[in-house]
Structure 1
Amino acid sequence: MIQGIARFFTQVVHRFLPDPLIFALLLTAITFALALGLTPQSPGDLVYMWGSGFWNLLAFTMQMAMILVTGHALATSGPVKRVLSGLGGLAKTPVQGTMLVAFVSGVACAINWGFGLVLGAMFAREVARRVRGVDYRLLVAAAYMGFLTWHGGLSGSVPLVAATRGNPMEKVIGLIPVSQTLFTGYNLFITAALIIALPLLVRAMMPRAEDVVSVDPALLVDEPVQERKITAQSTPAERIEESRILSILVALLIVAYLVIRFTKKGFSLDIDTVNIVFLAAGILLHKTPMGYARAIGNAARGTAGIMIQFPFYAGIQATMDHSGLAGVITNWFIEIANVHTFPLLTFLSSAVINFAVPSGGGHWVVQGPFVMPAAKAIGADLGKSAMAIAYGEAWTNMAQPFWALPALAIAGLGVRDIMGYCVTALLFSGVIFVAGLYLF
């Protein structure tokens, strides 16, 4: 049955889902139409809101691009290739390979979403190299499905922001410590259940032998070795460029900064921390500054989708926020909620809004001002309400191609190749999220 569902959605998505850029443009038009019909804003006001917010995510865009290039460069270094190769060698059949990718990706994304997103895609490539007869589309989809665990893990934006002083909701509801969000029974259940269930789900999605789409060998060609050999004829400039001492000094500088930062502010992980750690590790593992620069140059080719699409999502987010449309959508749900149904309706509203605001931190900015005061007013659990926002965002990432772009860029596939499988994962993972919210 699950195989049939996956095949159906794969066919539908391949036929009707446009390129992610077109998806962003269509969402822009839909957001304008909804805001025009449901809020008192004039067309001119909406255009101004959209244009004023178009560049709001420039820093975030650069952070995402850096996650992709530093992660890609790290994963293409010799030592990491050897680790991935060793793990890939554990799989002997297409079923084992696909299940292993889903498991590794789920665990990695629970540790840190940026690391997991990149590692999962690179591991899928490694398994495809080693296992004959594996369906490459499902293999890469399995890597992306692991992203379902991220918001319940150690780098979840909403629970971390909710526990951070100075966040937009602190004056309204106070701080929500992670003991009431990440380290609760329901969140541990949901995260563990996803890590266990995803490999079983992809096993059930395995296509029939005649439907298997094998990988294009050109996609699996090893990245060229980036280290250059120094010879007696090398110039002084070349010797400096290929100096391992410089790489070690840069890495030590970054380590010193992190030690000082954690000493002053306590241990915490955020996007910038992940990026600088990846940079330090990458420059060390590539051995020389120019070796690392060449690896970054190869990885940067995959950032085109991020660069062109994120500004449009920033415009959509600004339009929804400033027009009041996000509040209208959220209020449709919370007006009919009580203390028992509030987590589910918050989860569903977050899932809908994620199509226009595909960002965990963005959800806290857009939904927090409406959801959290309502939760406080009706006596709902504040921690569970915050996590319901987080889960909704993570859940519909399976139908929103925004976050698939970095993984797809590494894997060399398009969004239509994997989204049918991901929509199937969305249907079945929804049961886990809802069960966790109501069983604990």
Structure 2
Amino acid sequence: MGPLNAVVERYMPSAFLFAVALTAVVAVAALIVTDSGPAEVVNGWGDGLSGLLAFTMQMVLILLLGYMLAHTGPVHRLLVKLGSVPRSEGQAYIFVVVVTAVASLITWGLGLVVGAVIAKEVARQGKTKGLRLHFPLLVAAGYSGWVVWHMGYSGSGPLAAATEGSFVTELTGQVIPMSETTFSIWNMVGAVLTVIGVAAAMYFVRPRSASKIIEFDPKQEAAAYVKEDINTPADRLDASRWPTLLLGLALAAYIIMHFANGGTLTLDIVNWSFMMLILLLVANSSEMLALVRSSASNVGDVVFQYPLYAGILGIMASTGLMEWLTQKMVMISTEATFPIIGLFSAGLVNIFVPSGGAQFAVQGPIVLDAAQALGVDPAIAIMAVAYGDQWTNMIQPFWALPLLAIAGLKIRDIMGYTTITFLVSGVFFAGILFTANLFL
């Protein structure tokens, strides 16, 4: 691990410069392998900048609300209790991976936030117990647990395939229920095995030498909410439990009716579920607004950088570069090797477009069409794209930004460790897809 960390710390640029470099690489590639000229590339990039604004807002909300939910009184107390569970250094790293993975399988936004919060809490309480814990590795363990998010409840690829009227229905002539993708036995067993493998990797790469351990620095952190004096009728209204409670109950009623009427789980429903829980768990509107202010600082980098990745997607989609890349990889596939090739192609595309929903919308039809031609079950094709999307997040800094903001670290502090996660999880993902394809 030492040499790998040294290389990463020395040469890994900031997440912003990484996005700029990817933009340049994609632009040059489009000029070389497609018929597009410079003007078409620039137009594709410029038009793409605003192409994911609605999706960007969904992403911002899920991070904002996930952070707020993790810092509501009841949830934060639960995380504090969880932070006291590990009794040794090795247990601490394993525990952070497992807790984050469970949260990520429920919904990816919660997993990102919980990964950072539980890493800090385990580090804080470990220090009081006399444990020598390497804080960057704890945070890396928190991010590593997120590697299974697309195998869980909020996976955008399987959700799209299970939605009536989606492009998946048009291509395959059927809705692919989540019982064949997310909730299939092979995917659920695969998720458990992957988490075990990643947790074991974090355990074995932990630094043994005291000189290499960077401990958590318990800085003075301002409370997310400090009760204010109540002097006026307006103060009493802000301190009242009823406005947030009634709004939370109304949102709960809407969500129940949504599912009762045959509605499916979407990113919007995930966000409204988060909002409902926040409204029901906070003490009053003053606490809720304090949580908003506290969490807003953790989504700034995402807000600014997401249009850059939308621009990259614009180039890849408008010039045909993504289609060219996917088709070249699929062309060398056979029925047996298709899942592995699909995994690698999706992983490669995700480095340039780190958005599960946007990637699946563009790459999904090409992969599904190839799967049909080769006689591969569409569920395998869907999960190959899903696995590839979550896999290379471990070497792509974009989604680590909120976690790092909460933890107060830089991407180069954890990337050496998450690269190990990338290698280990890749073996599991390839094995799961290859094995499942043999029996479907």
The 3 A distance-change label for structure 1 pair 348 and 158 is: same
- Count of residue pairs the alignment pairs up: 430
Aligned residue in 2 for 1:187: 187
Aligned residue in 2 for 1:419: 415
- Per-residue CA deviation, residues 321-351 of structure 1 (Å, 9 max, x unaligned), is 1110001111121111111111111111111
Query: How big is the shift at 1:54?
Result: 0.3
- Per-residue CA deviation, residues 86-142 of structure 1 (Å, 9 max, x unaligned), is 111111222211111111111111121111111121111111110122111000110
- With 96-105 and 76-85 compared, the bigger mean Cα shift is at 76-85
Aligned residue in 2 for 1:113: 108
Any stretches of 5+ residues in structure 1 without a counterpart? 1-5
C-alpha distance in 2 between matches for 1:171 and 1:283: 39
The 3 A distance-change label for structure 1 pair 125 and 427 is: same
Secondary structure of 2:348's partner? helix
Query: How big is the shift at 1:278?
Result: 2.0
Asked if 1:253 corresponds to 2:250, the answer is yes
Q: 1:410 aligns with which of 406, 411, 424?
A: 406
Query: How big is the shift at 1:77?
Result: 2.2
Asked if 1:196 corresponds to 2:196, the answer is yes
Tell me how large the CA RMSD over aligned residues is. Answer: 1.5
- Per-residue CA deviation, residues 28-68 of structure 1 (Å, 9 max, x unaligned), is 11110000000001110111111011011222222222222
Q: Tell whether the 8 Å contact from 2:161 to 2:176 is kept in structure 1 after alignment.
A: yes
C-alpha distance in 1 between matches for 2:179 and 2:251: 30
Q: How does 1:259-338 map to 2 (within 5 A)?
A: 259-266=256-263, 268-338=264-334
The 3 A distance-change label for structure 1 pair 227 and 249 is: farther
C-alpha distance in 1 between matches for 2:364 and 2:62: 26
Any stretches of 5+ residues in structure 2 without a counterpart? none
Aligned residue in 2 for 1:85: 80
C-alpha distance in 2 between matches for 1:122 and 1:310: 23
C-alpha distance in 2 between matches for 1:25 and 1:216: 32
Secondary structure of 1:169's partner? helix
Aligned residue type for 2:398? F
Secondary structure of 2:297's partner? helix
Q: How does 1:376-415 map to 2 (within 5 A)?
A: 376-415=372-411
- With 424-433 and 194-203 compared, the bigger mean Cα shift is at 194-203
Aligned residue in 1 for 2:365: 369
Aligned residue in 1 for 2:217: 216
Query: How big is the shift at 1:222?
Result: 4.2
Aligned residue in 2 for 1:3: none
Length-normalised TM-score, structure 2: 0.94
Q: Tell whether the 8 Å contact from 1:75 to 1:119 is kept in structure 2 after alignment.
A: yes
Q: How does 1:67-146 map to 2 (within 5 A)?
A: 67-132=62-127, 133-146=132-145
Query: How big is the shift at 1:183?
Result: 2.9
Secondary structure of 2:298's partner? helix
Q: 1:438 aligns with which of 409, 434, 439?
A: 434
Aligned residue type for 1:249? L
- Per-residue CA deviation, residues 233-290 of structure 1 (Å, 9 max, x unaligned), is x011111122111111111111111122122124x43322222222222233331112
The 3 A distance-change label for structure 1 pair 406 and 271 is: farther
Asked if 1:15 corresponds to 2:10, the answer is yes
Q: Tell whether the 8 Å contact from 1:35 to 1:325 is kept in structure 2 after alignment.
A: yes
Asked if 1:165 corresponds to 2:164, the answer is yes
C-alpha distance in 1 between matches for 2:168 and 2:258: 25
C-alpha distance in 2 between matches for 1:278 and 1:374: 37
Q: Tell whether the 8 Å contact from 2:224 to 2:290 is kept in structure 1 after alignment.
A: no
Secondary structure of 1:215's partner? coil
Q: Tell whether the 8 Å contact from 2:45 to 2:314 is kept in structure 1 after alignment.
A: yes
C-alpha distance in 2 between matches for 1:180 and 1:406: 32
Query: How big is the shift at 1:223?
Result: 4.1
Query: How big is the shift at 1:146?
Result: 1.0
Asked if 1:235 corresponds to 2:232, the answer is yes
Q: Tell whether the 8 Å contact from 1:8 to 1:420 is kept in structure 2 after alignment.
A: no
Asked if 1:39 corresponds to 2:17, the answer is no
Q: Tell whether the 8 Å contact from 2:93 to 2:203 is kept in structure 1 after alignment.
A: yes
C-alpha distance in 1 between matches for 2:143 and 2:168: 31
Length-normalised TM-score, structure 1: 0.94
Q: How does 1:143-162 map to 2 (within 5 A)?
A: 143-162=142-161
Asked if 1:54 corresponds to 2:55, the answer is no
Q: Tell whether the 8 Å contact from 1:67 to 1:275 is kept in structure 2 after alignment.
A: yes
C-alpha distance in 1 between matches for 2:288 and 2:203: 37
Secondary structure of 2:261's partner? helix
- Per-residue CA deviation, residues 285-330 of structure 1 (Å, 9 max, x unaligned), is 3311122101110110111111110000001011101110001111
Structure 1 runs (4+) greater than 6 angstroms displaced: none
Query: How big is the shift at 1:27?
Result: 0.6
Aligned residue type for 2:90? V
- With 270-279 and 114-123 compared, the bigger mean Cα shift is at 270-279
Secondary structure of 2:351's partner? coil
